[in-house]
Amino acid sequence: MSPPERRARLRELRTWVEWLRHTAELHNDIPPCWYRHRWVREMLTALYLGWLRTYEGDKTPGRELAEAEWINTLHAFKPYMKLPACVSGHQEPPPPPPPKEEADQEWELYLATSAETTAPAKHPAEAEVRRMAAELDPPL
């Protein structure tokens, strides 16, 4: 999005988030500085888009409980939106550590040598599959 469009979308999101904080009594769960925290902003964007599809979209057959499902999703997200550090005012999250120069080489070495990435494919229930196959085709 261009910067002007991004600002317009964030204004739209803010209007909805303020409505949500008031209507759903989430003022203790969504901090006032939510927009300064990328992950909280992403979760609220996802909730907003889901809310639009649920409440403003066409009613899809088989989705009779869509509103209840959206509310369940909202409550599932709540613990991840709380930011205890921001209870008494916004606190910047700690900066991520700088990337290690050799990180790409370590990654490629892992892909080339790890048993996780080089072992032959194996069914997670291989013994059970063999047992079931033996029951279906017993020896003569």
pLDDT one digit per residue (tens) for the chain, 140 residues:
888 899 999 999 999 999 999 999 998 899 999 999 999 999 999 999 999 988 887 677 777 788 999 999 999 999 988 888 888 889 888 888 888 888 889 989 988 998 888 888 777 787 888 888 888 877 66
Question: b/e per residue, 88-120, with b = 16+ CB within 10 A?
Answer: eeeeeeeeeeeeeeeeeeeeeeeeeeeeeeeee
Residue 94 lies in a domain: no
User: Considering the domain boundaries, does residue 111 fall inside one?
Assistant: no
Domain assignment of residue 92, yes or no: no
Q: Is residue 125, in this structure, part of any structural domain at all? A: no
For residue 95, what is the DSSP state? P
Domain total of the chain: 1
Within a domain: 126: no
Residue 128 within any structural domain of the chain: no
* Cβ 20 vs Cβ 30: under 8 Å: yes
Domain holding 56, by residue range, is 3-84
Q: Is residue 106 part of a domain?
A: no
- Report yes or no on whether pTM surpasses 0.85: no
